[in-house]
Chains A and B, each alone.
Chain A
Amino acid sequence: MSTTALTLYVLVWPVVVGVVLLVLSRAFVAEWLEARREGRDLI
C-alpha cells in the first residue's frame, strides 16, 4: 500500500467515529425534546 493509501486507511476510522457521534447526538436531542414536549420521562 502507498503512503497515501495507508494514511487514509488509518485516518478514515476517526472520521467515521465522528459521523456516528453526530448521528447519535442528533437523535438523542430529538428524543429528549420530544419527551419534554409530551411531558413524559426520557427513559
Chain B
Amino acid sequence: MNQIETVTFGAGTVLLLLLVFYGGTFWLSARIGKKQESADGYMTAGHDIGFGISAASMTATWIWASSMYASATSGYTYGISGPIHYGLWGALMILFIYPFGKRIRAVAPRAHTLAEVLHVRHGRSSQLLLAGSNIVGSLISLMSNFIAGGVLISLLSPFTFVQGVFMVAGGVLLYTLWSGFRASVLTDFVQVVAMLGAVAVIVPVIFFAAGFPAAFETGAGNLTSQQGSFFSSTAFLEQGAPYIAAVLAYAIGNQTIAQRLFAVREDLIKPTFVTATVGYGAMVIGVGMLGVLALYLGIEPADGDVNNIVPQMATSYLPGLLVALFFVMIIGALSSTADSDLSALSSIVMADVYGQNVAGRDGADPRTMLLIGRATMVVATAVAIAFASLRLDILDLLVFVGALWGALVFPVIASFYWEKVTNRAFTVSVLAALAVFLPVRFSLVPLNGVTGLVVDVLAIVGVGVVLGLMAFGFFGLRVAQVVAVLAAVVAAPFALGAVHEYATLSGSLVAYAVSTLVCWVMSTTSGATFDFDSVKKRVGDYDTGEIPVTSAAPADRDDDDLDPVR
C-alpha cells in the first residue's frame, strides 16, 4: 500500500475547482435573487416548495463531510456492519421525524421555527431552551464543516488549513447571504446531484481499482470475527445503540429539519422525508464501504487518524479527474450543510429573538428582520471561523449536544399532542434532565452501588421512552405504550448492573427518562387545557400582516412566573 502514489493538486487547480463550484452556486442563487427579498421567503421560501427541491435539500443538508468520514471510520473500525450502524440510524433520524412533522405543520402551518411555535404554546422559557439548543447545534455543525473544508484543501493542495477554512466560509456566505433559505434550498439541489453522482461513480471505481472482489479473499485475515460478522454485537453496542438513542434527539434539536418541515408543501412531507431517508442512507453507507475496503486491504490510516481513510482511498485509487470529482463531492457535502446552518441560525434570530422577544409579533418590521437575518449570517460565519481554528474534536461535541437534545424530545413532542403540558412542566423537566445528565455523562459522581443501580433503572426507562416515542409517531398512543413497556422489559436483564458503565449511552438515556417522567407527572397534575387551533391564528407570515395578534402569550396559560412577557 505504501508504494501507491497519491494524487494532489496544484494551487491553480484547487482555485479553479473552488471558483467553478462556488461561482456556479452563486450564479444560481443570483438567478432567483430579488431586489427586495421578503422576510418569510428568507426563512421558509413561502411554505410551498415542491417534492424534487425539498427532498434534494433535505438529503443534501443531512449529508455533511463528517458523516461520510465517520461512516468510513465505522466501517474501518467495526467491519462490514459498521457503515450500517452509522448510516442507517442517521437516515432514520429523517424518517422518524416526519409523522411528528405532519402534526407540527397541522398545528402551525405557516411557522418558521419550532421554537416560535413553542412560544405560543407555552411561553418564553420553553422557546428559548429549544432555540438556544438549536443555535449551539448549528454553530457546532457550521464550525465542523469549515474544519472539514480546511482539512481537505490543505490535504490536496499547497494551501494551509486556515486558508482553506476562509475559502469555504467565504464561498458559502457569498451565495447564501442575499436570498437566505431560498438560495440554500435551490443550490442544495445542484449540490446533491454532484454528491450522488460522484458516489455512484467513485465507489465502484475504487472497488475494482483496489483489486476487489478478489481482495475479499486475500484480505479476510485482516478482520476479526466481530468485524467479519454482519451481526456484530460490538458494532451494535459501541456504534449502533448510542446512535439509536440519538435518532429523535437530533431530529428535534436541529432547526435545519424543522425549517424544511415548514417550507415543503404540506401534502408532500411524507414523500420528501422518505426519499431523503433513502438518499442519505444509501450515500453515507456507500461511502462508508470505503472504510470496509480499507480494512480488507490492511491500510493504515495516514498519521494514525481514521478520518483520513476516505481521502486516502480516493487519492490512492482514483485517477486525477475522479479525485477532482471527489473533491467537489466533499465540498458540496460541507457547503450544503453549512448554508443550511446559516439559514437556520438566521431564521432563529429573526423569528425567535427579534420577531417574538424584541419587537413582538405585531411590532416586527420585515425589512429590519431581513437585515438582522443577513447580519446573523455574517456574525455566525465569523464565530465559526474563529472556533474552527481551534480544531476542536467536533464529533465529541456533537455526541454531547445530541445527548443534551435528548432532554428536549419528550417535552417538545408532548407539547404538540397533549393539552395538559405546561410551560412550567416543559422547563422544569428539561432542566432536571440536564441536571442528571451532566454528572452521569462526565462521571462527576461515582456510579457504583445504589447510584449505579438508579442510573441503570433510569436508562431502562429511557430505552422504553425512545422506542415508545418512535412507535407513537407512526402507530399512536396505545401501540407506543405497549412498545415502551416491552422495550424496557427486554432491555432490563441486559442493562441492570451494566449500562452505567457506558457514560455516553447511559447519560443520553437518563436525559430521556428524567425529562419524560418529570414532564408527565407535572402535566398530569396540572389541570391545564390548551386549544391547538389557536396556534395557527398566532403564528404566521410577517410580510403580509395577516395574523391577528392580541397578546404575546395564551390567555389560558397558568404559569406566568416563567414568562417575563406578561
Q: Give the B-binding residues of A (Cβ under 8 A).
A: 1, 3-4, 6-7, 9-11, 13-18, 20-21, 23-31, 41-43
Contact = CB atoms under 8 A, between A and B. Distances in A.
A42 to B, nearest CB: 7
6 contacts: A14-B201, A14-B282, A18-B196, A25-B193, A27-B55, A42-B53
A9 B82 CA distance: 13
B237 interface: no
A20 B213 contact: no
Given A24-B52, A43-B45, 10 more contacts: A4-B213, A7-B213, A11-B203, A20-B196, A24-B196, A27-B50, A31-B51, A42-B32, A43-B46, A43-B53
Given A1-B230, A3-B213, A13-B286, A28 B56 contact: yes
B482 interface: no
Given A3-B217, A10-B292, A11-B207, A24 B286 contact: no
A43 B51 CA distance: 12
Contact of A17 (B46, B80, B282): B282
DSSP class of A's interface residues: helix, strand, loop or mixed? helix
A20 B279 contact: yes
A14 B196 CA distance: 8
B94 interface: no
A15 B275 CA distance: 15
DSSP class of B's interface residues: helix, strand, loop or mixed? helix
Nearest to A29: B52
B49 A23 contact: no
Of B182, B278, B286, chain A has the most CB atoms within 10 Å of the CB of: B286
A17 B45 contact: no
Contacts of B285: 13
A10 B49 CA distance: 34
Of A4, A13, A15, chain B has the most CB atoms within 10 Å of the CB of: A13
B192 interface: yes
Contacts of B338: none
A1 B292 CA distance: 14
A24 B212 contact: no
A17 B217 CA distance: 27
Nearest to A28: B52
B177 interface: no
B278 A16 contact: yes
Interface in B148-189: 182, 185-186, 189
B217 A13 contact: no
A1 B80 contact: yes
Contacts of B199: 13-14, 17
A6 to B, nearest CB: 5
Given A9-B80, A10-B203, A10-B293, A21 B217 contact: no
Contact of A28 (B189, B216, B217): B189
Interface string B269-280: 000000100110
B258 interface: no
A4 B212 CA distance: 11
B53 A31 contact: yes
Interface in B340-376: none
Contacts of B51: 27, 31
Of A21, A28, A43, chain B has the most CB atoms within 10 Å of the CB of: A43
